[in-house]
Amino acid sequence: MQHLICFDMDRVLVDHLSTWQYVYDRLEISNHEAFNLYNQGKLDEWDWLKMDLALIKDAHPDITDQKMRELCEGTPLMEGMLECLQWIVDNGHEIAIISGGMQETARDIACMFPSDKPWKRRWGGINRHRGMDTKFHVFTNGWLERNDGSIDDYGRYQVQMNGKGSIVKMLQRRLDIPKERTISIGDSAGDIGMFEESELSICFNPWDEKPVAVAKMTIRSRNLLDVLEAIKNQIKG
């Protein structure tokens, strides 16, 4: 029977604190002010995204879509990621990346697993820069490109901090895969919504203890082959 496996990206598929932070580090800027305001409840997620994009544009007024995509290149991937995702694909299951992280990094990962279908605009699809579609369903945040190639002031906001569960439920309806055949993997409190809509929830490489209390399984490692073993056991029953 076909299963749906949903992955967070930062600290799960990517071996880095944050794909946003990876870009900040390369630009030599800091978003600590916005991060602190958000944690104090003085900034919602939409304004946080706009503030982060303003920070990038203020520091680098000539920043372009092309440059942003180049800055995402080289993001370190989690050990065992390719083998884990390949097994899932080879065995006919569905994969979704559901993350507040950078859209370009998620698309880079998804494009490692191209479909045999030409690119088309679809819910959970990737952008036209790639030329072909992917077997994955991708939901992320990031920036928007203007017609002249510059970066818009308003970002691309698909994934709310507490909204991952609703994306999982929508995928289940569209793919006709029930909760009983859904597995989710995340590392933080933002993944609890996914966990609640999954038969098996795996807290991998946990950021804090909040998701550990909710997840059915915790794997304290940085190798996705450990997660793959748990996925295989769940699918095989």
Looking at residue 34, its pLDDT comes to: 74
Q: Is 18 helix (H, G, I), strand (E, B) or coil?
A: coil
Does residue 51 share a domain with residue 125? Answer: no
Strands (E), the chain: 4-7, 94-102, 114-118, 132-134, 137-142, 156-157, 182-186, 200-204, 217-219
Look at residues 72, 95, 110 and tell me which one is the last residue of a structural domain.
72
Sequence-distant contacts of 190-193: CB under 8 A, at least 24 apart: 190/8, 190/100, 190/161, 190/162, 190/164, 191/8, 191/164, 192/162, 192/165, 193/162, 193/163, 193/164, 193/165, 193/166, 193/168
Does residue 180 share a domain with residue 225? Answer: yes
Q: Which domain holds residue 53?
A: 19-72
Q: How many other CB atoms are there within 10 angstroms of residue 24's CB atom?
A: 18
Does residue 133 share a domain with residue 51? Answer: no
Looking at residue 41, its pLDDT comes to: 61
CA pair distance 229, 64, nearest whole angstrom = 41
Band (178; pLDDT cuts 50, 70, 90)? very high
Q: How far is CA 203 from each of CA 11, 72, 118, 168, 191, rounded to the nearest angstrom?
A: 11, 25, 35, 16, 9
- Residues with Cβ < 8 Å from 130, sequence gap 6 or more? 107, 111, 119
Does residue 119 share a domain with residue 169? Answer: yes
Does residue 82 share a domain with residue 68? Answer: no
Least confident span in 28-42, 64-78, 99-113, 160-174: 28-42
Does residue 126 share a domain with residue 211? Answer: yes
CA pair distance 159, 137, nearest whole angstrom = 13
Does residue 88 share a domain with residue 29? Answer: no
Does residue 143 share a domain with residue 205? Answer: yes
Does residue 9 share a domain with residue 119? Answer: yes
Q: pLDDT, tens digit, for every residue of 51-89?
A: 889 989 998 999 999 999 999 999 999 999 999 999 999
Does residue 146 share a domain with residue 105? Answer: yes
Name the domain count of the chain.
Answer: 2
Does residue 49 share a domain with residue 107? Answer: no
Look at residues 55, 72, 89 and tell me which one is the last residue of a structural domain.
72
Does residue 120 share a domain with residue 23? Answer: no
Rounded to two decimals, the pTM is 0.93
CA pair distance 137, 106, nearest whole angstrom = 10
| Alpha helices (H) in 117-223, listed in sequence order | 164-175, 192-196, 210-214
Q: What's the CATH code of the domain at 105?
A: 3.40.50.1000
